[in-house]
Structure 1
């Protein structure tokens, strides 16, 4: 209960978390404070709310502190690029991350709108930053959010490097002791640089080079759904520039943190294709593509006579490998 009392007595606690803290039952208090939110190999992920076992700006900034110390230990004048998805508090958590790192002397490049995780990985290499952060809980339920950290090669941190981040974060004795400058002030000072479209343009240009064969795409219709997430703008643009006729699932192009039209925003879940298949049948489309909220997972439904059959990520990988070997 020591941590609970500490949070209860902290006068600087944000109003929303203070209100939640005061409303917790004894069982909820135990669950929110019985352990620290764990930093796994890729970062942290948890239910949003008040407490040390919840995802909030204070537990997040403990992880940010560890990552900042890691970067400062490994690089002279480190830089980092930050992206976020459509989930509740994702923008808040992204700005909080940017503010803490910039306040600790790390130059931050910041995506101004929701951005796919693969673009974040590309941006690390394109901008030659020391690392990257994306705020996302992938395809987890709406009550979750998460934090993934990346190395300077665009990959998630290896277990060995992640342990260094964990060790540095554990040295922070008081998570309320961190006092970063406001995000807007750091932008004005140039320590946080808001990105323009150059990274997205470069990403599209490089992605188009991955096309193996020039296909007759003019008569090939694709239904695309981001499942309320980040992929639809760049996904549609990429497919259009490759010559495909793309039909968007309008209801699921809304950046809805509650994922209101699906049980789960998992593109390998059959139910996630309900809207897409409805669009496909109405437009006689050849293929449905669905991505999870941060667009690092994909599912496909293909037309087989008058029905649409779903293939999962493992099957997609096997088919792509077979196609590359044959071509």
Structure 2
């Protein structure tokens, strides 16, 4: 079967020369990895390694997914339409133009940004243009060898499980290959594909600027890096309009470049991605530095502390932003304002919400569930109640015009907050310490275990199955006395999801789940303690326990 698929690709008349060269160079092992399955489509769309084959991101897998999306739109809407955007990754523009052409070929109206634009601007465009759907070509913060394809619904959120299953069914009914690729230039000339105008871009900027809760004239010196991604233009434009920000750019990472030459893993969650920004911050004496990932939906930041820069975790940044919004919000809603976080995000949010009289809603991992809560408030005529949503993986949103995490929005909050604190003679770190003294020290650690290929997928499934065994069968006594929530099989009031949560003590918790977009198992460790040293010690003990469970050296996948 694998050999047959390989031969059909090798002999396809429409196969580009680049993919043909990759096919001809494959050994048997590579062939199996590239063809043993079709690249899976889910609520996160597609994501995979660039290359030839059914299990790789390429023109044919993108075309097949787009035909599935188009069939779903034609079945669901009377006059379907779609907005499309792309980031700086290798072949992102090619995949975006092919997506637009395939949809136009199916009779669906298409709007396309004429240049790379961030994920939040795609979500905004879907809503502003009243499109039936949106497609963002990106692999977010993955290494350069990846690309992906996110699909959005008419509400501006990533698609629901029901929609993903219908699209997958349409994808499965198609042949793998096509003899021809539709002409983007032809459909653009005919008007069936239209470029998104500057008016929509300006509307987005105005929407972001409307989210300011307290303006400050205090000068703030920052270093910014877009990590060679899509954030360069919109982030700098917002900073320019704030008026009090002096910006130094990391020139090596300023312009779009899908190879990410100075940052192989363009993820602002890790220090390696921030190294050039940190260096420039120390050289220039800037107050702080920050980075946005390639599709500009995540933001990571650090504060200069003498001769070093201290990076702020996603959890701590979310808490700082929530505190800033609470201290400066207008009390003009009859019902309590709503804060939304994911189940793997810090429990310190609960303490702040109790203090400020806010309603806290916990949702599954994935910002689409935060966007969904905004939609529910909107349906109930209570959209103004939404205050803030955040997740530990550096995603934040304080407005409702976008229904996904928005790093441009986050940059605005960060700079206004930092300038406000600077005016008081404080830094973000000073305020964080004040909050810890008031509410306690909540810390968290993310562990990631990679399981590549077919055998890796089997091993991940096996580990999750073992974690669902009776608690009294666990070797570790801490598990024997734990309480467990199985989000796949228990009635949690949330959508079914392959996630397990173990409360080991009143202060210690572990959540385990497979990644929805990468061949990885993720474990989230939570604790709170009286001191930072005690909290870190607790995390070390939790990590030793989880490392033993996820140890692949002594395991084999049957």
Q: TM-score range by the shorter chain?
A: over 0.9
* 2:418 corresponds to: none
Distance 1:101 1:160 in 2: 21
Query: What is the aligned partner in structure 2 of residue 276 from structure 1?
Result: 277
Q: Give me the whole-angstrom Cα distance separating, in 1, the residues matched to 2:221 and 2:131.
A: 38
Which residue of the partner structure matches residue 326 of structure 1?
327
Cα distance in 1 for residues equivalent to 2:52 and 2:308: 47
Q: Which residue of 2 aligns with 1:245?
A: 246
| Local SS of the residue matching 2:22 | helix
Deviation at 1:178, TM superposition (A): 7.0
Say if 1:70 and 1:164, in contact at 8 Å, map to a contact too.
Answer: yes
State the partner residue of 2:516: none
1:263 and 1:271 in contact (8 A); partners too: no
Per-residue displacement from partner, 1:206-257 (whole Å, max 9, x unpaired)? 100111101124x211111101101011101101101122221111112111
The residue that corresponds to 2:227 in the other structure is 227
Query: Which protein has the larger Cα radius of gyration, Structure 1 or Structure 2?
Result: 2
| Partner of residue 263, structure 2 | 262
Contact 2:47 2:149 in 1 (8 A): yes
CA distance in 2, matches of 1:169, 1:181: 18
* Distance in 2 between residues matched to 1:39 and 1:325, nearest whole Å: 39
- Asked if structure 2 preserves the Cα contact closer than 8 Å seen for 1:142 and 1:258, the reply is yes
Unpaired runs of at least 5, structure 2:
329-558
Q: Which residue of 2 aligns with 1:140?
A: 142
Q: Please state how far the C-alpha of 1:314 moved relative to its aligned partner.
A: 2.1
1:168 paired residue number: 170
CA distance in 1, matches of 2:180, 2:9: 16
Q: Kindly indicate whether the alpha-carbon contact (under 8 Å) linking 1:267 and 1:292 is maintained by their aligned counterparts in 2.
A: yes
| 1:1-327 alignment, distance < 5 Å | 1-172=3-174, 174-177=175-178, 179-217=180-218, 219-243=219-243, 244-327=245-328
1:306 to partner: Cα distance = 3.9
Give the paired residue count.
325
- Does the 8 Å contact 1:17/1:50 carry over to 2? yes
SS of alignment partner, residue 175 of structure 1: coil
Deviation, structure 1 residue 278: 1.8
Secondary structure of the corresponding residue to residue 256 of structure 1? coil
* Equivalent pair of 1:107/1:191 in contact (CA under 8 Å): yes
Q: Give the whole-Å Cα distance in 2 for the aligned partners of 1:221 and 1:63.
A: 45
Q: Report the CA distance between 1:277 and its aligned residue.
A: 1.6
Q: Is the Cα contact below 8 Å between 1:67 and 1:165 reproduced in 2?
A: yes
Deviations 1:152-200 (A, max 9, x none): 111100112111111111111x132474531000001100002232222
How far apart, in 2, do the equivalents of 1:314 and 1:179 lie? 48
Question: Partners of 2:317 and 2:72 in 1: how far apart?
Answer: 36
Q: How many Å apart are 1:26 and its aligned residue? A: 1.3
Displacement of 1:203 in angstroms is 0.8
With normalisation by structure 1, the TM-score equals 0.96
State the 1:83 CA deviation: 0.6
Cα pair 2:13 2:179 within 8 Å, conserved: no
Distance in 2, Cα, partners of 1:98 & 1:271: 36
Asked whether the equivalents of residues 290 and 300 of structure 1 are also in contact (C-alpha less than 8 Å), the reply is yes
- Note if contact 2:226-2:254 (Cα within 8 Å) is conserved in structure 1: yes
The gaps in structure 1 that reach 5 residues or longer are none
Deviations 1:35-61 (A, max 9, x none): 111112210111111111111111111
Is the contact made by 1:61 and 1:175 (CA closer than 8 Å) also made in structure 2?
A: no
- Return 105-114 or 313-322, whichever deviates more: 313-322
Contact preservation (8 Å) 2:103, 2:110: yes
Contact 1:103 1:180 in 2 (8 A): no
Shift of 1:302: 1.2
Three-state SS of the structure 1 residue aligned to 2:280 is helix
